[in-house]
């Protein structure tokens, strides 16, 4: 019996990773591999660096009193990560509306990122969905036009790169 995947695959540009990191002891568990929850902070690292590279840093949104808390999260773990693996994070924007943003992620070991690994290894794919809210009262709020527009353009540019 094969369980249907929560997410089949992700649409993420492969041009270049938004961030790289190495698995720490802090990330591992007694199975000797990275604990599944460890990747969530690296997803945050990925999306914050994507936004920064797109010219719409998250701190800009904060200046408007806004935030992008998660409403949904899905992860498909494929290959376990090991201590000291060098991992590349690729992030894509798959939905941008006035009040919502959806990110997709692919975590990859590039050839050489683990000793003896000479082919690209996809560790996991994921999606996070975010609602734009006012920090003060957690009510939904439309993103400010410049932020939203730059995000939309970025989504279009990312699409073209695919």
Residues that bind a copy of itself (CB under 8 A): 1, 3, 5-7, 22, 24-26, 28-33, 35-37, 40-41, 44-45, 48, 57-59, 62, 67, 69-77, 80, 83-84, 95, 97, 100, 102, 127, 129, 135, 138
Q: At 149, is the secondary structure helix, strand, or coil?
A: helix
Q: Could you say which DSSP state residue 99 is in?
A: S
Tally the C-alpha atoms within 13 A of residue 38's C-alpha that lie toward its C-beta: 22
Name the minimum Å distance from CB 32 to a copy of itself.
5
Nearer to a copy of itself, 12 or 47 (CB): 47
Nearer to a copy of itself, 57 or 144 (CB): 57
Nearer to a copy of itself, 55 or 161 (CB): 55
Residue 48 vs residues 29, 45, 68, 139, 161: alpha-carbon distances, Å: 26, 5, 11, 22, 20
What are the residues facing 106 on neighbouring strands?
A: 90, 125
């Amino acid at each position: 019996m094969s369980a249907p995947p929560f997410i089949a695959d992700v649409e993420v540009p492969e041009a270049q990773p938004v961030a790289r990191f190495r698995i720490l002891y802090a990330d591992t568990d007694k199975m000797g591999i990275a604990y599944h929850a460890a990747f969530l902070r690296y997803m945050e690292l990925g999306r914050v660096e994507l936004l920064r590279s797109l010219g719409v840093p998250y701190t800009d949104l904060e200046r408007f009193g806004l935030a992008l808390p998660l409403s949904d999260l899905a992860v498909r773990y494929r290959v376990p990560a090991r201590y000291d693996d060098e991992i590349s994070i690729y992030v894509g924007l798959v939905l941008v509306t006035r009040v919502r943003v959806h990110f997709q992620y692919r975590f990859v070991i590039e050839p050489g990122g683990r000793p003896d690994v000479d082919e690209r290894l996809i560790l996991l794919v994921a999606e996070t969905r975010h609602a734009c809210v006012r920090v003060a009262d957690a009510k939904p709020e439309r993103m400010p036009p410049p932020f939203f527009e730059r995000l939309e353009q970025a989504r279009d540019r990312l699409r073209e790169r695919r």
